[in-house]
Structure 1
Amino acid sequence: MSSMTSKITLRRLSDVSTRTKMACPTFQVPLLRLVPCHCWTVLIGFCQRCVSQFTSGECSRAVAARERGCQITKVIMADSADVTPVVSSQPPAKEEQGGGEGGGGSEGDAGGGLSDAQTEVLERCLHALRHAKNDSHTLAALLLITRLCPASQLDKPTLRRIFEAVGLNLPARLLVTAVRGNDNPGLPPHELLSLGTALLAALSTDPDMASHPQLLTTIPLLLGILSNGPVSQQKQAAREENQAGENGPDCKVQSTESVNTESNPASVAKSAGEDKTSKQKGDDGSEAIKESTPQETSPSSMLDEAMAADCYQVLTAVCALPRGPDQLLSRGAIPALCKAVQQNQTFSREKGLVLLGGLVSGKTKDKAWSRQPAELLALLVKLSKDFCQARDQTRLDMCAQLVQFLPPVGVSAESEELKGVVARVWGVLRPMLQAKLTPRQIGPILVLSACLLDLCGWELVGPPKFCCLLVNRACVEVRMGLEEPPGNELSPELQHTLTGCYRIMEAAIEQACCLGVSQTTAPPQTSISTLSLQQSRQVLGVLEEAFSALMYHLQQVDPSRYGDPFIFATFRSLCSWLAEETSCLKEEVTGLLPFLIGYSRSHLQGESTDQGLSDWMADMSVREERGPWTGKEALRYLLPALCHLSAEEGPRKVLLTLDTPALLVDFLSQSWTPLKGKSGVASARDPSMETACSALLNFTVTEPERVRKDPCFKTLEALLSEALPVLVHKPHLLVLAANYCTLGLMIGRLKSAPSGSVEASQRRFFSTALRFLRSALDSGSSPGPVKVSPSWEESWDDAAELWRLSLQALGGCVRAQPWISTLVREEGWLKHMLATLSQCSALPELHTQGALEEALCAMADQCPVCKLEIGDMMRKDKGALSCMRNLKKSVGVK
């Protein structure tokens, strides 16, 4: 908070004092009701000499007061007809010169722009504040400061000293007194609330004060004021009379001085924010039975603007703190602010919606929707109806507001009420998108469209023709925005628009790829899945042009911009297309590989500044990302494309020159470190690690010489030897274990037999791999086709091909390193497999039989003992073994 805000709010305290004055019988001048006359005697005693010095030619009001024989009273309070704070005669620009950090003054000029006399008065007032015996002394000293030391002349350190001297006890008790309505301060509750909120607003401008636990306890009270609003004086009096008659002497009011100065601040929270119950608090804190909840607030119950502004000032100051949004959420901010908006309370639209928008977007979005889904959905329904009824320009302004209040993806996705909201908004957006719009006008519409797509997909968008128009408009905006000469800076507004367009393009490419699937796995019938063949070709054509513009833009990116969130959004969108389509624009894609790999490596190895990306991941307006930024995100998005590209000779050669295998090994190492410490239940499947293994497998199969020479594959072997024994005990990671097993065996078949003793890590890996592969088939199967074991059954669709490939690689390992055949017998793999095959009549499928037969043939060829054991079992002519003709030839069985 700026010191300027502090000064404005401090002036506000003076305004409060002028509205709450009465005639003092002693001096016949206006004084505060809250400050008894004997307190002014105390003040006059300790500061009369200062005031005399101060009034020597510096203040015309004080001179006039001295002529009446009472300097202090005229300085404290002006004439009742026109009361204004004493302000500097300097112009505003000069007044603020002393308001910066340190005030720009000398050590003696402690108050910034104050004179020596003012400074002395200020010091005495601060002393009085720190040693005040009761609230009356505190108020008197504070009001004296507001008169003698104008806020415009106070610098930030001086304001902080005042705030610290005042403390939070006083404003908290003022609010409690007003809300509870069980004390008699001589002032109506509205004035107590006005003074209390003004003090809190001034205090909250200092971040340390705003984060103080005692100020935080007043949040429910402030929320109650904003949501319930004050009642008219007549209703308040009638309610107090009724309560006094019904409840007896317990409800009688007490004097202000009976309020305990050391009252527990925790009691503040208890006395407010109860609007969820059937009771409703008025401005006096009394509770009345609530018969109904009006949707609009009557004029008599509207909240005072100054008080509402003060309440929102405090809440906004708290929200700006690092943990501020969580503090507000835990104290009931969402239901209270939603109620204020529904009842159209003062500033609820101008300030309340802004504050709510900050709470329901960014880091606290999921938490807010999980805690108050009903209130937020009701607010969204109201905002969507307002959006539909608004005029054209207002609708454009409301697009960005609606984006903030949409729920996270996946929350209430099946809610019919939410679908009704989305359908209603699409109904308004369709004619808007079909109209002629400027780039500034179409941006918010496309961003809102992207968010609606995230929520409910294409189902509610509209007819196929409109879907084509939406994709086309997004692609046109992307081309216009990105096909600019190098060096042109994109404005933040344009970047925000293009990010929304990317999401529309991603959703379109997902659907376009679904259209190519066979009829047996047909996509659900949505508006875009019913496109005609010509419409599909048009969509794919404009998408190809737009993604070509993305590649052109990324070609111009300098490494110094790798930390730019917009570059990451562009990179991510391109990767979503490359994951599905690498045959189009093949030359352009291959030419862009140096950037794609360099960008991914820079983030993975922490070479770029990622703070902006971390904030973007937590606070993204379109398709909010989950979890904090780790540096691995860029490569995760690129991995599916690398799987395709590493299988093609041209792109693979480029990837090898960029040392891509080493990058993938580094990714696996970094991903394995946090995973290995988690328990089997807590560890979740990570598809990106499996995809990285697939890309490395492509290199291993197609580039054997590179595997033998590149040191990164030696590092990979060590990682696999460490990880596989751990993974086999994590059932949820069986597919990853199958990938690690296959990758290690495929590398092992390329190595020659060791000249000396076998390394312990090598022996450990192969022992684990044999036990892992053996566990796939159920050895206890009754006669008939062999069954997959229960531990593999759930993942068999994903792991079956890897299991078969592992068996083929095992045969290659036995031929390349004969010592493994001994390990095969020692680990019981051969005995187990022969027993299983002899008991069953057939294997799950023909490919499984071929893979097993290849492995058994290799063992028979390399190990005489294995050959003898296999031959003995086959001569019994039992089960599936009898169908393996090549194996019969290897062991000499007819």
Structure 2
Amino acid sequence: MAEGADVVSCEPPGEEEQGAGGEDGGDGGGSERDGGAALTDAQRDVLERCLHTLRHAQNDSHTLAALLLITRLCPASQLDKPTLRRIFEAVGLNLPARLLVTAVRGRESSGLPPHELLSLGTALLAALSTDPDMASHPQLLTTIPLLLGLLANGPVSNQQEEKPAGENEMNADSKVQAEESSGPESNPAKVEKSAGERKASKQNGDDGSKSNGVKTPTETPPCPRLDKAMAADCYQVLTAVCALPRGLDQLLGRGAIPALCQAVEQNQTFSREQGLPLLGCLLSGRTKDKAWSKHPAELQTLLEKLSKDFCQSTEQTRLDRCSQLVQFLPPVGVAAASDELKGVVSRVWGTLRPMMQSKLTPRQIRPILVLSACMLDLYGWEQVGPPKTCCLLVNRACVEVRMGLEEPPGNELSPELQHTLTGCYRIMEAAIEQACSPALTQSAAPPPSSVSSLSLQQSQQILTVLQEAFSAVIYHLQQVDPSQYGDPFIFATFRSLCSWLAEETSCLKEEVTGLLPFLIGYVQSHMRGESPEEGLSDWMAEMSFSEERGPWTGREPLRYLLPALCHLSAEEGPRKVLLTLDTPALLVDFLTHSWNSLKGKGGVASSRDPSMETACSALLNFTVTEPERVRKDACFRTLEALLSEALPVLVHKPRLLVLAANMCTLGLMIGRLRSAPTGSVEASQRRFFSSALRFLRGALDTGSSTKLVQVSVSWEENWDEAAELWRLGLQALGGCVRAQPWITTLVREEGWLKHTLAMLGQCSALADKHTQGALEEALCAVAERCPLCKQEIGDVMRNETGVLSCMRNLKKTMMVK
């Protein structure tokens, strides 16, 4: 029986060699298979007779006899999918499931040893799972917890549990039917609870507890190991399920994470060769966050074990294990909350430092760079090491980028090289962010292990190698065809360049200006949904950047380019190119979509969106420098309509005050370029200016115990960011009043004039001369265009001796000495 079962075991493609030689040779028969050779006439004749017997079997004995004959004479690797389907239809999945349940429960009435039942059951499931339709069958999915229990706990004797009286009477059929009627969450593997309980038991010192029948290592010797054929069959089924569209969720819901972690901890058969890669799949992409949030204790224990093995292994083995370790690093949010994980990363850095300093080939350094990039995502430069190590890491990443990208046009980069370069980009981005951080440059005592403590010479060296690397990035992007816009690697390259341009636009100015048509075209393509997004969405999910975990919207490329556009739109040369590319319309379209998204969230929309603020800043640059374009371009009419809708809402959202300040100032700057309406004023215009006046009025107030003008409580938190916008808005308000005198009516009706005069009349000083100048300019414009306003201002100036008496231009306008 056991021999026949070994023959039918079906390992996943490419893993027969692992099964045969991964652990001192194989005894499962995998090496005897001939890779799918056709059946002989004699085999076909036997197969047909066995299939006839299966279809007409009167009991399990007849069925088992036919199956054993098939397994002896027709190895599963020689059976095509139609034949496997015929066997499935004749036998069904209920039989192998019942074999597993019977073996696990240890029923003596079965007539066969549990090992033979398990061997045959797992072999049948493995063979049938090679067909995706069968692998997704509900009956097969119900066996996953049993297979996971085998992999985690070893042979059957270790899985038997004491059961209440009466439960032993339940036969195997009813057990399987109960499992079939339940969902994936209701029947987890036995170890799903035990792995967590064992972790808690170790921490609490409770050495006498049990967890679902699995004793802790402190209670018993290590679990006996499965034979290789049975382990290979179990992994074949799990691997086949994993490959299904919803396979990862099916495995997660049935306790695969704790079971596989326990298998690795117990060093069960093939747990390293097949269990770890399967865990790596479960911890990649969209399922990573879910897995870590559901099983943090088991995964942390696993990571500690793997990192310890990594640090203690030989140098060559470490190089091989770098890529493996990357898969098991936690998401950023989980890492930040765990001191234990921080210690793990610190120890790994300690092992990587001498490796980076040694002479390595490009193929050897690549996994080190990728692992370093992932650990930088978790804890930044704090644990990397002294400045010399930081410089070396950045230099190695930049050299790799130059070597990889400075290839002749038409040369395709291998997936392995693309993966490495993506990691190098993240190292470069981290270096840029750290080097340009205002908090670090102002710090009196930077931490000794931070790149902020670089010497001037080291800083210059880093800037030089970064510039050379980004020159190669620009060169590569110049070769990109629009058909490649959906390539995740192109997005990673684009994103990296944007991080550089956000901080540095003076270097490589001509090259950057020449690349603008590509940058804008790339952004427009994604905004319009012209590029395939599925690969990009998956890539975003696999990255460690927390802000990128949401669904792909098509606006992500522009979000990264916006800071650079804000800088470039302020410079004449690049701005002219941006105007030829219709960039203002692109920005307005982005603002419109972003506002609709923000508005769709309702009352929950209280968190800032820096990209909307930056888009307003770029449009403000165009408005200030290109007045004729603003007057003629229809997109600015669309923008005015958007601002008139958004600002009345934003004035009631304190957490969005900076966005409100941006939109208010932008609308006022556009308004000063419009001429007075010939007929009645549009309701949208009146609504915008009313909201703008209320918003501007709320920034300053009179101190209760002093005679100084103070920033109001609602503005205080954001005053550093909003103050300049507020002053510019007041200046623009003066321009709007001069261009459209009807606004003076709102100035009085909305209470802006009364509030401002009362505040200035009572106070002896303002916070700074810039604030005074902005208020003075607005008051002068109001006095010039409105006799009633002029009279009110004059009355206060004659009766009060506050700040108004210090405004010389206002006095001149009012003709007051």
Distance 1:814 1:522 in 2: 50
Matching residue's letter, 2:180 = P
SS of the residue 2:532 aligns to: coil
* Equivalent residue number for residue 736 of structure 2: 813
Which shows bigger deviation, 774-783 or 533-542? 774-783
Distance 1:287 1:324, change over 3 A: closer
Distance 1:759 1:500, change over 3 A: same
Distance 1:788 1:183, change over 3 A: farther
Q: Deviation of residue 716 (structure 1)?
A: 1.2
Q: Deviation of residue 278 (structure 1)?
A: 6.4
Distance 2:176 2:481 in 1: 62
Q: Deviation of residue 652 (structure 1)?
A: 1.3
Distance 1:697 1:10, change over 3 A: farther
Q: Aligned pair 1:376/2:376, yes or no?
A: no
Matching residue's letter, 1:453 = L
Matching residue's letter, 1:169 = N
**Aligned partner of 1:725 among 634, 648, 672:** 648
Partners of 2:135 and 2:141 within 8 A in 1: yes
* Equivalent residue number for residue 565 of structure 1: 488
**Aligned partner of 1:186 among 107, 111, 116:** 111
Give unmatched runs, 5+ long, in structure 1: 1-8, 17-82, 99-112
Q: Aligned pair 1:95/2:38, yes or no?
A: yes
Q: Given the two structures, how large is their TM-score scaled by the length of structure 1?
A: 0.80
Distance 2:568 2:3 in 1: 66
Distance 2:544 2:197 in 1: 37
SS of the residue 2:607 aligns to: coil
Q: Aligned pair 1:767/2:690, yes or no?
A: yes
* Equivalent residue number for residue 136 of structure 2: 211
Distance 1:208 1:585 in 2: 56
Instruction: Give the % identical residues.
Output: 75
How far does the alpha carbon of each residue in 1:389-429 deviate from its partner, in whole angstroms, 9 at most, with x for none?
22232221101001111112242236333233223222222
Distance 1:461 1:226 in 2: 38
SS of the residue 2:261 aligns to: helix
SS of the residue 1:362 aligns to: coil
Q: Aligned pair 1:269/2:183, yes or no?
A: no
Matching residue's letter, 1:95 = A
Q: Aligned pair 1:202/2:127, yes or no?
A: yes
Give unmatched runs, 5+ long, in structure 2: 10-27, 200-209
How far does the alpha carbon of each residue in 1:71-128 deviate from its partner, in whole angstroms, 9 at most, with x for none?
xxxxxxxxxxxx999x99xx976618x9xxxxxxxxxxxxxx9999678647745644
Distance 1:763 1:138, change over 3 A: farther
Distance 1:577 1:259, change over 3 A: closer
Distance 2:647 2:666 in 1: 11
How far does the alpha carbon of each residue in 1:689-720 deviate from its partner, in whole angstroms, 9 at most, with x for none?
11111011011011111111111111211221
**Aligned partner of 2:599 among 673, 676, 685:** 676
Distance 1:278 1:589 in 2: 57
Distance 1:617 1:383 in 2: 26
Distance 2:798 2:547 in 1: 64
Distance 1:757 1:551 in 2: 52
* Equivalent residue number for residue 633 of structure 1: 556
Distance 1:114 1:425 in 2: 59
Q: Deviation of residue 623 (structure 1)?
A: 8.6
Distance 2:3 2:512 in 1: 62
Distance 1:206 1:93 in 2: 15
Q: Deviation of residue 140 (structure 1)?
A: 5.3
**Aligned partner of 1:618 among 520, 541, 551:** 541
Q: Deviation of residue 198 (structure 1)?
A: 2.6
Distance 1:804 1:84 in 2: 81
Distance 1:260 1:592 in 2: 66
Matching residue's letter, 1:608 = S
**Aligned partner of 1:838 among 755, 761, 774:** 761
Higher percent of residues as helix: 2
Distance 1:263 1:618, change over 3 A: closer
Q: Aligned pair 1:473/2:473, yes or no?
A: no
Q: Deviation of residue 248 (structure 1)?
A: 9.5
Matching residue's letter, 2:98 = R
Distance 2:560 2:696 in 1: 31
Partners of 2:128 and 2:134 within 8 A in 1: yes
Alignment of 1:54-69 (within 5 A): none
Partners of 1:303 and 1:346 within 8 A in 2: yes
Q: Deviation of residue 151 (structure 1)?
A: 4.6
Matching residue's letter, 1:677 = G
Partners of 1:451 and 1:623 within 8 A in 2: no
Q: Deviation of residue 845 (structure 1)?
A: 3.4
Distance 1:518 1:821 in 2: 46
RMSD after superposition: 3.6
Q: Deviation of residue 214 (structure 1)?
A: 4.0
Which shows bigger deviation, 208-217 or 555-564? 208-217
Q: Given the two structures, how large is their TM-score scaled by the length of structure 2?
A: 0.87
* Equivalent residue number for residue 225 of structure 1: 150
Partners of 2:5 and 2:120 within 8 A in 1: no
Which shows bigger deviation, 147-156 or 438-447? 147-156
SS of the residue 1:787 aligns to: strand
* Bigger Cα Rg: 1
**Aligned partner of 2:85 among 160, 178, 189:** 160
How far does the alpha carbon of each residue in 1:443-496 deviate from its partner, in whole angstroms, 9 at most, with x for none?
111111111222222222222222222222211111111112211111111111
Q: Deviation of residue 634 (structure 1)?
A: 1.1
Distance 1:859 1:721, change over 3 A: same
Q: Aligned pair 1:312/2:231, yes or no?
A: no
Distance 1:879 1:707 in 2: 39
Distance 1:10 1:292 in 2: 32
Q: Deviation of residue 641 (structure 1)?
A: 0.9
Distance 2:461 2:683 in 1: 60
Q: Aligned pair 1:176/2:101, yes or no?
A: yes
Partners of 2:55 and 2:91 within 8 A in 1: no
Q: Aligned pair 1:659/2:582, yes or no?
A: yes
Distance 1:668 1:779 in 2: 36
Distance 1:220 1:682, change over 3 A: farther
Partners of 2:730 and 2:774 within 8 A in 1: yes
Q: Aligned pair 1:436/2:359, yes or no?
A: yes
Alignment of 1:582-593 (within 5 A): 582-593=505-516
Partners of 2:760 and 2:804 within 8 A in 1: yes
Distance 1:859 1:296 in 2: 89
* Equivalent residue number for residue 464 of structure 2: 541
* Equivalent residue number for residue 14 of structure 2: none
Q: Aligned pair 1:690/2:613, yes or no?
A: yes
Partners of 2:149 and 2:189 within 8 A in 1: no
Distance 1:174 1:844, change over 3 A: farther
Partners of 2:588 and 2:639 within 8 A in 1: yes
Distance 1:362 1:376 in 2: 16
Q: Deviation of residue 601 (structure 1)?
A: 1.5
Q: Deviation of residue 862 (structure 1)?
A: 0.4
Matching residue's letter, 1:186 = G
Which shows bigger deviation, 349-358 or 206-215? 206-215
Q: Deviation of residue 752 (structure 1)?
A: 0.7
Distance 1:745 1:114 in 2: 90
How far does the alpha carbon of each residue in 1:622-653 deviate from its partner, in whole angstroms, 9 at most, with x for none?
99942222211111111111111111112111
Partners of 1:814 and 1:820 within 8 A in 2: yes
Q: Aligned pair 1:602/2:560, yes or no?
A: no
How far does the alpha carbon of each residue in 1:10-53 deviate from its partner, in whole angstroms, 9 at most, with x for none?
9858658xxxxxxxxxxxxxxxxxxxxxxxxxxxxxxxxxxxxx
Q: Deviation of residue 621 (structure 1)?
A: 7.6
Distance 1:181 1:777, change over 3 A: farther
Distance 1:257 1:575 in 2: 62
Which shows bigger deviation, 664-673 or 349-358? 664-673
Alignment of 1:445-456 (within 5 A): 445-456=368-379
Which shows bigger deviation, 177-186 or 543-552? 177-186
Q: Deviation of residue 352 (structure 1)?
A: 0.6
SS of the residue 1:411 aligns to: helix
